[in-house]
Structure 1
Amino acid sequence: MNKKNLWSITIVLAISVAILYIDLKATPFKQIIHAASSMNWSFFGLIFVMMLLSYTCEALILSVLAKRKGEPKRGFWSFFRIPIIQTLFNAITPMSTGGQPAQLTAMIQMGIEGGRATSLLLMKFIVYQICVFLAYVSTIATGFHLVKTKFSTLAIFIVIGLLIHVVSTLFLLAIMFAYNFTKSATIFLMKILRKIFPAEKVDKWQENAISKIDTFYGESRKLKNEKQKLLKVTFLTILQLLLFYSIPYVVLLALNVHASWLEVTQMNIMITMIMAIVPIPGASGGAEYSFQTLFSTFISSSGTLVLGMFLWRLATYFFGIILGIFGWSIKPKKISSSKIN
């Protein structure tokens, strides 16, 4: 953990503490104490169990993808530390840009060769991106009316977040199913950009883009050829997302607030869309504001609402940071892929 990462954690904590201070200042402390005193501690514990299960699903996804003839057997901790390290670096970098490189480093530390580690992460990313895309589209189709009339400002950000994800996912699907067209379209786009930007710079962009297109296409073909593995990974990814997206519902149950699981989960998915476009580590500020705005639909007491927001961020954000620090610190035994058990 270098100084830059420590500074990122400090900034995130400072923003979160400032937001919590503002909330506490605006909300009578007695209301928060009252909400906490009547909390259902069984559901409180379940919140963190579900987060651990979500990380476990992701670890199993990597384990399934890594399994092949001649691949050495590695312990559960080797795979489990990868998603928690990803969570840590997603939390402390703008737009969650640090998660992928951190995962790659963690896989190399456990003895998986860099090229193969990149391949495994790409396959996981392809399945995850498509599953999240389907979750976003189905939520907008069935639940957007929940925010359109009451929270028009947030609705705009939700649409922007969705559009960004739709464009990136459609591009990914185009690579998988229209490889030649996508490659030709990219080269045509670069020709246009050469009229605006220096040719040398655009040449580098084109080389990088074509390389990534080729890599994605190659990994997508591998996935399509391993249908049993693909089905297992898809199932685990859906389970992982269900666990994660259901956390706010369990938070409400912990606070003795009863609501529709479907509506609460739809709200949470829309919050995730907003968080995707907040250019601050961990989407600090935007996440808390979005949660309180959207979940005021289900919670009438301001004290309960603030406590619910704190529990949600504690479980989905700070809990992951704490686990990620341990994961980064406790390295697994390095087992080279050349060592066959």
Structure 2
Amino acid sequence: MNKKHLIGIIIVLIISGGVIYFQLKNTPINSLIQAAKSLNPSFLILVFAIMILSYVFEAGILATLSYERKKEYSTWAFFRIPLIQALFNAITPLSTGGQPSQLVAMMQMGMKGARATSILLMKFIIYQICVLFAYVSTIAFGFKMIAGRFSGLALFIFIGFLIHISSIMFLLAVMFAYNWTKKITLWIMKILEKVFGTKRVDSWRQSTLNQIETFYQEGQKLKREKKKLLIASILTIGQLLCFYSIPYFILLALNLHPSWLAVTGMNIMIIMFMAIVPIPGASGGAEFSFQTLFSIFISSNALLTLGMFLWRFTTYFLGLILGVVGWIIKPKKVEES
């Protein structure tokens, strides 16, 4: 980690500290203590176990896509990769550090850069396709209720949805309509030339065409590896189900019994909203959206505040802490032939 990453951690801690101070200022400490005493310990342990399980699923995806060479690497070598990704997602704006950090972690275990990049791209493609179904179904069945009750927040959720879906649709277009995507891209670049000039657009054109080519080649690789594609897809669904279900089990720990579908849909919409918050970890925006949307299920302010703290720690600070451990404890390096 460099100076910029440390600055990211400091920014996150300052904003999170401000949120905690604001919440404690408006919530009597005795009420929080009473709420904490009433927590169901079994479900609380389950919350952390499910979060760890989501990391296990992600490590399994990477091991599966590493083909026949996966047996040469230790279990820790793969498990630390999602932890490191969680760390750098947490401390960089818009989670931009997650992908590069995974590449570094895979090279630290001895994997060549080109092969590691290929595996990460295949993982990214599978993940985005699985996420597409989650986002579309959530907007289709749950957005109307949010728009009616929280119109301001609903607008930002919809913008986040459009950002996610645009990138996923571009990826699918590359995989299934390669020539058409290239033609459309070149046509758009010609229009941009009139606005930004030929020299600047030339670099954009080359970069975009290179990405299209890379995604296309990795997509073709995935189509040939049907068994690994199936296993990785099942593991990705498991990873997403674990991560999306965290708030539901937190509510069970608070001795509330809402609908799993309703709570999971709310959580997915929070994730969409967080995509447009440019602060590391979406600090501030994440807490605000959680408290706004989950007020539907939690009437007590003390329980809502406690639930928000538990959710933020489990899905954010736990990964940050474990990521630091993963970054420090490096695996035995196995050089590829």
C-alpha distance in 1 between matches for 2:223 and 2:5: 38
AA aligned to 1:270 is M
Query: For the Cα contact (< 8 Å) 2:64–2:70, is it kept in 1?
Result: no
Matched, 1:288 2:287: yes
For residues 1-341 of structure 1, the aligned pairs below 5 Å read 1-68=1-68, 73-338=72-337
Gaps of 5+ in 1: none
C-alpha distance in 2 between matches for 1:196 and 1:267: 40
C-alpha distance in 1 between matches for 2:62 and 2:127: 12
1:71 to 1:145, Cα distance in 2 relative to 1, 3 A? closer
C-alpha distance in 1 between matches for 2:30 and 2:74: 47
Query: For the Cα contact (< 8 Å) 1:72–1:335, is it kept in 2?
Result: no
Query: For the Cα contact (< 8 Å) 2:63–2:70, is it kept in 1?
Result: no
AA aligned to 1:57 is F
Q: CA deviation at 1:198?
A: 2.6
C-alpha distance in 1 between matches for 2:4 and 2:183: 40
C-alpha distance in 2 between matches for 1:205 and 1:142: 38
Q: CA deviation at 1:143?
A: 1.4
* Richer in helix (by share): 2
Q: CA deviation at 1:147?
A: 1.0
C-alpha distance in 1 between matches for 2:123 and 2:223: 13
Q: Cα deviations across residues 236-289 of structure 1 (Å, max 9, x unaligned)?
A: 000000000000001011111111111000000000000011111000011000
RMSD over aligned CA atoms reads 0.9
Q: Cα deviations across residues 35-58 of structure 1 (Å, max 9, x unaligned)?
A: 001111111111111111000000
AA aligned to 1:8 is G
Q: CA deviation at 1:3?
A: 2.2
Gaps of 5+ in 2: none
Q: CA deviation at 1:72?
A: 5.4
TM-score by length of 1: 0.97
1:62 to 1:71, Cα distance in 2 relative to 1, 3 A? closer
AA aligned to 2:309 is F
AA aligned to 1:151 is F
Q: CA deviation at 1:308?
A: 0.2
Query: For the Cα contact (< 8 Å) 2:80–2:327, is it kept in 1?
Result: yes
Q: CA deviation at 1:26?
A: 0.8
Identity among equivalent positions (%) equals: 62
